[in-house]
Amino acid sequence: MIETRKVIGVILLVFIIGIGFTKPVQEYVSIPLELVLMEGQQEQLQKALPVFKMSSTNENVSVNEEQFAVLANSQGDANVTVTVGGAPVKNVDVRVLKDIKVIPGGQSIGVKLNTLGVLVVGHHLVNSDDGEKSPGEIAEIEVGDIITKINGKKIENMSQVTPLVQEAGENEESLKLEVIRDNEVLQKKLIPLKAKGESSYRLGLYIRDSAAGVGTLTFFEPNSKKYGALGHVISDMDTQKPIVVNDGQIVSSLVTSIEKGSNGDPGEKLARFTNDRKILGTITKNSPFGIFGKLHEPMKNDISDEALPITLSHQVKEGPAKILTVVDGEEVKEYDIEIVSSVPQKFPATKGMVIKVTDPELLEATGGIIQGMSGSPIIQDGKVIGAVTHVFVNDPTSGYACHIEWMLQEAGVDIYSKEKAKAS
């Protein structure tokens, strides 16, 4: 009797597990509980059985019974009910976002950043009458600290520092420094020293107030002219810490030559600012997703100058796509790539996609992804989906990319804003 029960139990267990592998059940399970769409987008759901029906009473969405699809009509929240024989079996929460369109970039840009205050990038010894000392080290100033005030005076560039140091040294007074370290404001006292045989006093610190480089424009929003570029943070070359931006500019740039990449040796775009050094826009933010600000006027790439819709992270598909970038002069060209994988992220993260360059022309010219290509926009099915960010050192044909929705968020283009309540 006991043996019979065991056999029946095993048979039932196998039967229940087997049901889970049947196509109707798998397709039913694949129907999501949540759905995020842009205005005008249609999402086809898996239809498990002919008896499955779909309905919604909310005007923000409509349903297409024949295709078993949800159509996003207008911004707002809605609910779609899946029924069998009139009985609800699953509810799908639908969020319809404002239809955002951006103009893709691809242009080579020069970047000029001014730091918040002055950045400490190193220490040095002063050969004084009392021996070799570094006033900065004695004052416990660390590499990566940002000096924002000296004796209560706001510091914006290095030219302001020397007179204050000299005055304090001649008066045999200490300097009161306000520094930022890891988002914490600290107060320090520093006594300048004079080197033997010199008349000037020194801090014993190497400091910097600006940085420059080149990259690629990703997009701009045509109404606000807000833009995003690079797809990754700009860090100081000495401290390897993100540069805290006071202000900055992007300027026109051209690619002069290419250092081709190979396994273990990433290549690089060699570029310079154009002779006219035309200022294209401001820089107000330096974040893990790139640099952001506003353009002074719209920019054209002569390939895709019309505003394109965007694709959210969960809508990106593995398969063919295009990037826009410059490999010679100022000419933007379109090249083939493959989306190897994409993570449907609910929260911002920089490495959302793995991509691979497949275009023979680009592989011949660069070897794949190279430095300076960061920020090149990625387009799939006529929509902007993200930007190139990093290259794999051991395989320069492949690298990472970030999703466009996080760059838009950093740029201040709010695609998740609730529709403003209508005035009564």
Per-residue pLDDT, 19: 46
Instruction: Look up the pTM and report it.
Output: 0.82
Q: Compute the mean pLDDT over every residue in the chain, rounded to the nearest whole number.
A: 87
Question: Are the C-beta atoms of 209 and 188 separated by less than 8 Å?
Answer: no
Asked if the model's pLDDT at residue 311 lies above 60, the reply is yes
pLDDT tens profile 222-237: 999 999 999 999 988 8
pLDDT tens profile 84-135: 767 787 788 888 888 889 999 999 999 999 999 999 999 999 998 888 999 9
User: Could you name the CATH architecture of 31-95?
Assistant: Sandwich (2.60)
Indicate the pLDDT class of residue 60, thresholds 50, 70 and 90. confident
CA–CA distance, 238 with 253 (Å, rounded to integer): 24
- Work out the average pLDDT over 199-222: 93
pLDDT tens profile 153-193: 999 999 999 999 999 999 999 999 999 998 899 999 999 99
CA–CA distance, 45 with 67 (Å, rounded to integer): 8
Nearest to 290 by CA among 390, 367, 200: 390
Catalytic residues: 232, 359, 374
Per-residue pLDDT, 207: 94
Among 269-283, 301-315, 409-423, which stretch is predicted with the lowest mean pLDDT?
Answer: 409-423
Helix (H) or strand (E) holding 195: none
Indicate the pLDDT class of residue 22, thresholds 50, 70 and 90. very low
Share of the chain above pLDDT 70, in %: 89
- Work out the average pLDDT over 184-209: 93
Among 1-10, 278-287, 345-354, 388-397, which stretch is predicted with the lowest mean pLDDT?
Answer: 1-10
Give burial (CB, 10 Å; 0-12/13-18/19+) of 415: middle
The sign of the torsion formed by the CA atoms of 410, 411, 414, 415 equals negative
Q: Specify the CATH number of the domain 104-110+211-411.
A: 2.40.10.10
Per-residue pLDDT, 3: 65
CA–CA distance, 102 with 408 (Å, rounded to integer): 9
Give the DSSP letter of residue 206.
E
DSSP-derived 3-state class of residue 161? helix
Q: Which residues share a beta bridge with 103?
A: 220
Indicate the pLDDT class of residue 7, thresholds 50, 70 and 90. low
Per-residue pLDDT, 4: 67
Residue found under tokens 């993100």 = 242
CA–CA distance, 60 with 57 (Å, rounded to integer): 9
Distances (CA, A) of 251 to 278, 282, 294: 5, 9, 12
CA–CA distance, 79 with 359 (Å, rounded to integer): 43
Distances (CA, A) of 211 to 204, 238, 319: 21, 11, 38
pLDDT tens profile 237-257: 888 888 888 899 999 999 999
What are the domain boundaries of the chain? 1-27, 31-95, 104-110+211-411, 125-203
Secondary structure percentages of the chain, helix, strand, coil, to 5: 15, 50, 40
Per-residue pLDDT, 421: 37
CA–CA distance, 64 with 41 (Å, rounded to integer): 12
Class level of CATH domain 125-203: mainly beta
